[in-house]
Amino acid sequence: MDGKFEGKVAVVAGAARPPGMGFALARRFARGGATVVCIEAVGEQPDGGYDTGIVSAAILEQVVQEVKAAGNGGALALGVDPVDPTAWERAVGEVIGQLGRIDIACAFMGTTGPEAGDGPLLDVTLDSWQRCYNVNVVSPWLFGRACAADMVRRDEGGVLCFLSSYSAIVPPASNGAIASARAALNRVVEVMALELGGHGIRVNAVQPLSVVSEDERFPNPGLRRLAASGATNLDSWVGHNLALGRPQSPEETAAVAEFLCSDEASFVSGVSVPVAGGAHSHS
C-alpha cells in the first residue's frame, strides 16, 4: 500500500477480459488505496470462435474479489450487456449513484476475434467490422465522456486513460479493422485532452503490442493468430519484431497506465504511449 490513490474512486472498464491488463491495473489502484470499480461485458462466447470482449460472470466475480484483497479501499463489480455500447454510459451512472464521484476512469475495453474484425479487409464482414468499432472505439468514447461529464460537473479535475494498441502505429496485415479502430481512438484521446484540459482533466492512452499472461484466465488468441499469420510461432514472431526479444506481461502495460493516472504525470496529457519493447526501432 503506497497511498498514491487514497480517497480516489477509480473505475476500470474491461477489468476482467484477456489478456489481463485491466485486472493488473485495477489491482494497482487497489494497492494505492483507491476504491475500485471493475466493469465488464458479461456474456457467452460465440459458437466456434472467440471474442476477447466478453467474459463470464464467474471470472468477473473472481477478479473483483482479488482486487478487493489487494487493498483496503473496497472494490465493486458491475456487469454490462456485451453487445450494447450504451451500456457503459449507464454503468457510469450507476457508479456515480453509488459512490458519488469518479476520479480516475480507465477504458480498457477492447476485442479481437473472428466476429470482431479479424482477417483481411477484403474478407471482414460488415457485422464483424462494426463489432470491432463498437468495442474498440465507440464504447471507450461513450464511457470516457460519461465519466468526464461527472468530472466537469464537480470541477475537481480527473484522469481518463484509454487502452489503444501498437497496431495503430504499425498496422499488421489481417488486422486492419482493429488497427484503424485504435488509430481512431488515439485521435479521440487527443481531442478530448484539448477539450477537457481547461477543466483540469488529463486524457492519455497506452499502446501495448505483445501481452502474454501466465494466468490461464487471460489468454491472448489474437496475438497467437497474428504470429501464425506470418507463418511462424509466437516466440519467433516476438524475436523478429520486438527489440527486447520477449513478450510483455499485463503488469508492464498496467504500470505505464498507473503512472499516467497518478499525480506523477500531472503535466502529461493528450498522448498515446507505446508499450511495445522497442518494436518500431527494431523494425
pLDDT tens by residue, the chain, 283 residues: 679 999 999 999 999 999 999 999 999 999 999 999 999 999 998 887 788 899 999 999 999 999 999 998 899 999 999 999 999 999 999 999 999 999 999 999 999 888 889 999 999 999 999 999 999 999 999 999 999 999 999 999 999 999 999 999 998 888 899 999 999 999 999 999 999 999 999 999 999 998 989 988 988 876 777 666 665 788 888 888 889 999 999 999 999 999 999 999 999 999 999 999 998 765 5
CA gyration radius for the chain?
Answer: 18
- Name which of 163, 126, 125 is nearest 273 in CA terms: 163
Q: Which one-letter DSSP state was computed for residue 157?
A: -
Distant-in-sequence, close-in-space partners of 275: CB < 8 Å, separation ≥ 6: 166, 206, 207, 208, 209, 248, 252, 253, 256
CB 218 within 8 A of CB 23: yes
* Number of residues assigned to the chain: 283
Distant-in-sequence, close-in-space partners of 61: CB < 8 Å, separation ≥ 6: 77
- pLDDT at res. 145: 98
Distant-in-sequence, close-in-space partners of 94: CB < 8 Å, separation ≥ 6: 78
| Kind of pairing between the strands at 104-107 and 158-163 | parallel
Phi, psi torsion values for 74, nearest 5 degrees: 90, 155
- pLDDT at res. 263: 97
- pLDDT at res. 227: 67
**Predicted TM-score (pTM) of this structure:** 0.94
Q: Where are the domains of the chain?
A: 9-282
CATH fold label, 9-282 = Rossmann fold (3.40.50)
Say how many Å lie between the first and final Cα of the chain, rounded: 39
